[in-house]
Amino acid sequence: MHELSVVNPKETEALERLGDIYVRERWADPQSQEHPRHKGELQELPDLWRKLQPRLFLYVLRHPHFLRWLPQRFAILLARFRARDRQRKSLSWKMISSW
């Protein structure tokens, strides 16, 4: 959460709140009064997510890892599509020539 707060300082409070709720929900004793279920904090999560989601999405889109990954993934998908298309054409040609 700290790394995301550095990148997006306007959302620091919401990110820290989301991280706090997540950590306590994940590792606090479910019977403890500190658990978010007992305090009703889980109801805050949809609003926090709606607030953070657009900014996090833009962060991911601009991230260097994603910018390298996307063209590589597209090239792999294109190669698979072409191979599948060649295989279909080859099979249809074999069926036509066998008649």
C-alpha distances (whole Å) from 41 to each of 17, 25, 45, 47, 99 are: 10, 10, 7, 11, 70
What band does 88 get if pLDDT is binned at 50, 70 and 90?
Answer: confident
Question: Is there a single domain that holds both residue 54 and residue 12?
Answer: yes
Where is 76: in which H helix or E strand?
helix 64-98
- Give 8-35 pLDDT, tens digit per residue: 889 999 999 999 999 999 999 989 888 9
Look at the chain and report how many structural domains it folds into: 2
Domain residues for the domain of 53 are 1-62
Question: Is there a single domain that holds both residue 27 and residue 68?
Answer: no
Question: Is there a single domain that holds both residue 16 and residue 49?
Answer: yes
Question: Is there a single domain that holds both residue 27 and residue 53?
Answer: yes
- Is the Cβ–Cβ distance between 18 and 45 less than 8 Å? yes
DSSP E strand boundaries for the chain: none
- The residue-averaged pLDDT of 82-98 equals 77
Question: Is there a single domain that holds both residue 54 and residue 68?
Answer: no
Question: Is there a single domain that holds both residue 7 and residue 25?
Answer: yes
Question: Is there a single domain that holds both residue 39 and residue 4?
Answer: yes
